[in-house]
Amino acid sequence: MSITHATGYAIFDPKPGQYDFKLTKYELEPAEPDMVTVAIECCGVCGSDHHTISGGWGPLSCPYVVTGHEVIGKVVEIGSKVTEFKVGQRVGVGAQVGSCGHCKGCLKGNENYCVQPVHGYNTFWHNGAVHQGGYSTHLRAQERFVFPIPDALSSTDAASMLCGGLTTYAPLIHAKVSPGSKVGVIGLGGLGHYAVLFAVALGAEVTVFSRGDAKKSDALKMGAKHYVPTDPGFEKGLEREFDVLICTSSSSHLPINELLSTLDVFRQLVFVGMPENGLEITSQALSNNGVAVASSHLGNKGEAIQMLKLAAEKGVKPWVELMPMKDAAKAMIAIEKGTVRYRTVLLQDIESD
């Protein structure tokens, strides 16, 4: 019997500091031939969920939103054109569930840069149907955005890799990080922790830049070799040091010129995550060493599969806190207070009817 509905924790009125999740039953989007339907086992909590339901990214596009885009679950239905998956298989779905399939990005294997992407929630399919996210019993995604999960990875470890992990892994690959590369990670939150773990797994020598010393011990435990508090003058002695800087900080007071001076010629500082404000960049700060400021959005399917394989092989172990899905509001408050160490995963607790 075809699955038509899901039940999830929905927010109707985004505002900061108060998260009134209402258990809500809703109709899933129509199942297309290229879609996979997943019964959700657990779902990671991403900063994007907080930006969306606190109103930081503006009003909702839909009447209500079920957030969550780091989903692990079991395939319960496949469309007639699906070839990669079968019912019963454990899979993951990240922060994108669909793309147009025919733009330059999609055709060149960069479907994460599709001109008409369908994101993980607060979004519409090309036919107008609403798509809701993973704090729920079920979701659907196009096959291209569903990933097989290696047996060696637990579901709760794999979940937050699908957005947080991939978001930091893809720019490392794009910068050709390999054994001996020097990688700087700016900020040590959920994304920063993944940037460290994956850069280390790729064989890089990792330096963490953060305000103060509070996270030094954690950074070194994650495998970073150096920890640099961004006090005045921190950049001295680090000129032209790094092959790439992954910036996971959302601060608009970032010492951007000093950070840029630590990049080797022609390299990039890559923003991941989405600060709510911009940064003033001068041509001078970029031209001394011919560097660039970039931003990276998720990763493509090849990168996702490669990342999961590397995590399984190298035993990459994210630092995750588990809680039942009904405690999603607590997870939001923890993000606001900056107390998450370093990623939260919500466990399924809704009874399917």
Residues near its own copies, by CB under 8 A: 103-105, 108, 110, 112-113, 115, 174, 239-240, 264-266, 268, 271, 273-275, 277-297
Helix (H, G, I), strand (E, B), or coil: what is residue 162? helix
Cα 345 from Cα 44, distance rounded (Å): 4
Looking at beta carbons only, is 286 or 323 nearer to its own copies? 286
Length of the chain: 353
> From the CB of 195, what's the least distance to its own copies, in Å?
15
> From the CB of 171, what's the least distance to its own copies, in Å?
9
The residue with tokens 């900080």 is 249
Looking at beta carbons only, is 240 or 317 nearer to its own copies? 240
Q: CA angle at residue 276 from 274 to 282, to 5 degrees?
A: 85
Looking at beta carbons only, is 122 or 137 nearer to its own copies? 122
CA distances from 323 to 200, 309, 347 (A): 28, 26, 6
Among 83, 50, 31, CA closest to 328: 50
Looking at beta carbons only, is 61 or 287 nearer to its own copies? 287
> From the CB of 53, what's the least distance to its own copies, in Å?
18
For 8-37, give the DSSP string: EEEBSS--TT----EEEEEEPPP--TTEEE
Looking at beta carbons only, is 139 or 291 nearer to its own copies? 291
Tell me the H-state helices in 87-154: 104-107
Looking at beta carbons only, is 260 or 332 nearer to its own copies? 260
> From the CB of 192, what's the least distance to its own copies, in Å?
15
CA distances from 86 to 90, 170, 258, 289 (A): 9, 27, 51, 51
**Contact yes or no for 201/179 (Cβ under 8 A):** no
> From the CB of 286, what's the least distance to its own copies, in Å?
3
> From the CB of 109, what's the least distance to its own copies, in Å?
10
Looking at beta carbons only, is 7 or 288 nearer to its own copies? 288
Among 238, 191, 234, 187, CA closest to 208: 187
> From the CB of 82, what's the least distance to its own copies, in Å?
26
CA distances from 301 to 91, 106, 289 (A): 13, 11, 33
